[in-house]
Amino acid sequence: MRSRDDWVAAATQLSIRTGLYIDGRYQSARAGESFECVNPASGAVIAHMARGQAADIDAAVASGVAAWKDRRWRGLAPRARMEVLQRFADLVQQHSQELALLETLDMGKPINDVLGIDLPEVLKTIRYFAECIDKIEGAVTHTDASALHLILHEPLGVVGAITPWNYPMLMAMWKVAPILAAGNCVVLKPAEQAPLSCTRLAQLFVDAGGPPGVFNLVNGFGPEAGKALALHPDVVKLSFTGSTAVGKLLLGYAGQSNMKRVALETGGKSPQIFLNDLYDLDAAVDRAVGGIYDNAGQVCNAGSRLLVQRGIHDEFVRRFIARSALAYRAGDPLDPATTLGPLVSHAHQRNVLARIARGISEGAHLAMGGGSAGALPGGAFVEPTLFTGATANMSICREEVFGPVTAITAFDTEEEAIALANDSDYGLAAAVWTSDLKKAHHFVAQLEAGVVWVNCFGDGDMTQPFGGFKQSGNSRDKHMMSLLSYTQSKSAWFSLA
Ligand code: NAD
């Protein structure tokens, strides 16, 4: 394992690409403007990124349309496209140290988390969808003998992807990999808070033999570059991960423009239910702690509502606080020993602290944390925070905080737990902890969530469709069903009469 000093030294050698990546080359923004990239661990400006706007989106989409029309990507044999994506994954692997450094400096994620979680998941994602390419199958339907009917899956065209900053590379690859695997072209607009790693990924695709123009990237702000992409008449589908509020705007932009398809992966307020009969309280507490404080709580499916049955409530709270005190070490995210980095920005830190203050003013009991951990001067840290005595009407139980803040609510009956869990605008994920198999099935059937975990939290692999019910979204990432969502069916009816 490299030391903090090694990483600090490596950071001084980094060459940061700041341009938009269109047509296989870095370009300045057409208006010549840029925006600052800030390291949230220190407040230092680390780069000035080209600030793409509508004219840049036009150029990126036009480049994608040209690549779509001349079939330079979709026209390749499936095996040839697979090989490009596998080489892309190889290059990501070869550049993992550079990519990890970029991510850590840009968004404050501990370097060991990027190396141990984000990058392995990015590789699995690219390789999984590469492997899927020649597994896409159409159908021959059962018709009268005078006809032959084929159902074919065809790619869509130029797809726009707008992604968030919490797992910058992974959230982008959950979109880009299946979009490309299906034979489409893509224009990616990463989050302005953490654009560095994705900018590099676009180039690595071309370095891997991907035809220029097939994967273009425009950095910039949501209301400028993001909105222009969402309104663009030549973008046939928009795939989005981010907040519910922006997801609703995108549906409007699609209606105002070309009625493009809009796939949304949005916010969450995921409940974890702990029943009196769960078989291992320590294991459950461990996952409750990790489920909210990993990545400093900046996780869409974070377990931010802990519903604990009365019989184990007091012991659960005691062990939760004891475990949390041991589990995290705040510090410089370049230090491999750090397990709690800063939040992505100082603005987000202020927002999370304000939500904590609101929880207190609404009458919840602040049982742990609540302040900005002073691990590094100038860093945007927030302490792991726990509220107890929370009730369903409080903002900490209703609104997404997107930080290391969770609330425990005690309940008596299983019906009460289900009602509390489902009393939310969101429906991304939920968990139930019980040793009773029948009860577990009952909860799975009753919980309104796209993912339900039983006796675990956050587990899964590429075969698990990921996405939400209700205002958590309308689509699924991962799994073959994500790949197929970037295709459209064509019915070919042959008369044999
Ligand atoms: P955000 O909605 O503020 O921004 C997401 C992206 O949308 C960014 O690229 C941003 O520039 C862009 N954007 C903002 N305004 C826009 C506009 N008017 N038009 C077009 N694009 C616009 O979200 P965030 O703060 O970056 O990320 C946190 C949110 O993402 C949380 O709500 C979290 O739950 C959600 N999220 C969901 C999932 C999931 O799979 N469901 C995964 C990760 C994050």
Digits of tens for pLDDT over the chain (497 positions)?
Answer: 589 999 999 999 999 999 999 999 999 999 999 999 999 999 999 999 999 999 999 999 999 999 999 999 999 999 999 999 999 999 999 999 999 999 999 999 999 999 999 999 999 999 999 999 999 999 999 999 999 999 999 999 999 999 999 999 999 999 999 999 999 999 999 999 999 999 999 999 999 999 999 999 999 999 999 999 999 999 999 999 999 999 999 999 999 999 999 999 999 999 999 999 999 999 999 999 999 999 999 999 999 999 999 999 999 999 999 999 999 999 999 999 999 999 999 999 999 999 999 999 999 999 999 999 777 888 999 999 999 999 999 999 999 999 999 999 999 999 999 999 999 999 999 999 999 999 999 999 999 999 999 999 999 999 999 999 999 999 999 999 999 999 999 999 999 99
CA dist., res. 17 & res. 28, Å (int): 11
Ligand 1 centroid distance, CA of 162 (Å):
8
Token output for 296:
């400093």
Q: Is 427 in the pocket of ligand 1 (CB under 6 A)?
A: no
Contacts of 323 (CB under 8 A, 6+ apart): 282, 285, 286, 289
At 161, give phi and psi (nearest 5°): -130, 130
Name the catalytic one among 103, 121, 265, 383.
Answer: 265
* E strand segments, 28-105: 34-38, 45-50
At 118, give phi and psi (nearest 5°): -60, -55
Ligand 1 centroid distance, CA of 40 (Å):
18
Residues in the chain: 497
Token output for 485:
């969502």
Q: In the beta sheet, which residues pair with residue 50?
A: 34
Q: Is 165 in the pocket of ligand 1 (CB under 6 A)?
A: yes
Task: Give counts: helices (H), strands (E), the chain.
Answer: 17, 21
Active site residue 265: yes
| DSSP code, position 224 | I
CA dist., res. 52 & res. 373, Å (int): 35
Tally of CB atoms within 10 A around 374: 10
CA dist., res. 63 & res. 226, Å (int): 17
The helix or strand, by DSSP H or E, that contains position 197, with its residue range, turns out to be helix 196-207
Ligand 1 centroid distance, CA of 166 (Å):
9
Q: Which atom of ligand 1 is nearest to the CA of 477?
A: 40
* Whole-number pLDDT of residue 1: 57
Mutate to test the pocket of ligand 1, among 227, 246, 350 (most ligand atoms within 8 A of CB): 246
Q: Is 295 in the pocket of ligand 1 (CB under 6 A)?
A: no
Helix 78-94 crosses helix 196-207 at what angle (to 10 degrees)? Answer: 130
Q: pLDDT tens-digit profile of 221-267?
A: 999 999 999 999 999 999 999 999 999 999 999 999 999 999 999 99
SS3 at position 68: helix
Strand order from edge to edge, sheet including 139-140: 139-140, 147-155, 487-495
Q: Are 131 and 142 in contact (CB under 8 A)?
A: no
Token output for 272:
């974890």
Q: Which atom of ligand 1 is nearest to the CA of 191?
A: 9
Q: Which atom of ligand 1 is nearest to the CA of 192?
A: 11
* Whole-number pLDDT of residue 362: 97
Ligand 1 centroid distance, CA of 34 (Å):
21
Q: Are 83 and 131 in contact (CB under 8 A)?
A: no
Q: Is 162 in the pocket of ligand 1 (CB under 6 A)?
A: yes
Name the catalytic one among 37, 132, 198, 300.
Answer: 300
Ligand 1 centroid distance, CA of 158 (Å):
21
Question: Cα angle vertex 169, ends 232, 68, to 5°?
Answer: 40
Dihedral Cα 70, 206, 241, 190, nearest 10 deg = -110
SS3 at position 451: strand
Ligand 1 centroid distance, CA of 240 (Å):
7
pTM of the model: 0.98
Mutate to test the pocket of ligand 1, among 121, 266, 269, 294 (most ligand atoms within 8 A of CB): 266
Ligand 1 centroid distance, CA of 233 (Å):
22
Active site residue 456: no
Measured between alpha carbons, how far is residue 237 from residues 157, 185, 464 in Å?
A: 8, 11, 23
Q: Is 246 in the pocket of ligand 1 (CB under 6 A)?
A: yes
* Whole-number pLDDT of residue 376: 82
Q: Is 300 in the pocket of ligand 1 (CB under 6 A)?
A: yes
Select from 287, 320, 327 the least CA-distant residue to 457. Answer: 287
Select from 310, 307, 293, 326 the least CA-distant residue to 402. Answer: 293
What amino acid is encoded at 233 in this protein?
P
Q: pLDDT tens-digit profile of 431-463?
A: 999 999 999 999 999 999 999 999 999 999 999
| DSSP code, position 350 | H
